[in-house]
Amino acid sequence: MPLPSQITCRDIAQTNAFAAELAKVLRVGDVVLLDGPIGAGKTHFVRALASAMGSNDNVTSPTYTIMHVYETDRGQLLHLDAYRLSGVAEYRDLGIDDLAPEAITVVEWGGTVAAAHPEHLMIEFRIVDGDDNARELLLGGIGQRWAGKMGAQA
């Protein structure tokens, strides 16, 4: 399935459906970076993604703990939050270089640490003006892994 470069999710159900479609594409070693303002739905998206991957874990924001690990039918899902990190060096101090190749990694506020992952999928969340439930998602793939996965606007 080619991934869209842009998609508008009008409600939570559409966001969940897109997370389920993305889950089908992800494999161990993949890194997904999420960006967007507070309240844009980044943690909700990870919750929907984990669920679609078969996790029964309670997915919560890792803002203060920095990282949560969820068990899924496809292996571990690392859920990180880079909001409080000063940059790539502090991020690497978490040992992510050792952990990421053995899991699927999703990082909220991922733009802060994009340089640590030469191959990644970036999803930017934008709140749609005038509609508190709608989100515009802009997707961009970096690296050979994502080059063939990116498609047209949806």
Q: Which tens digits make up the pLDDT trace of 54-86?
A: 999 999 999 899 999 999 999 999 999 999 999
8 A C-beta contact, residue 111 and residue 121: no
pLDDT of residue 33: 98
pLDDT of residue 148: 79
- Per-chain mean pLDDT for the chain: 93
Which of 96, 139, 116, 108 lies closest to 9, judged by CA?
139
C-alpha distances (whole Å) from 73 to each of 64, 77, 132 are 26, 10, 33
Q: How many Å apart are CA 81 and CA 43, to the nearest integer? A: 9
pLDDT of residue 132: 87
User: How much is the pTM?
Assistant: 0.94
Handedness of CA 105, 109, 114, 116 (dihedral sign): negative
One-letter amino acid at 114 equals A
Task: Provide the 10 A C-beta neighbour count for residue 69.
Answer: 13
Flag residues of the chain having pLDDT under 50.
152-154
8 A C-beta contact, residue 152 and residue 146: no
Cα diameter, the chain:
43
Q: How many Å apart are CA 30 and CA 115, to the nearest integer? A: 15
127 forms beta bridges with: 135
pLDDT of residue 154: 43
CA-CA-CA-CA dihedral for 67, 72, 75, 76, to nearest 10 = 0
pLDDT of residue 151: 66
pLDDT of residue 153: 44
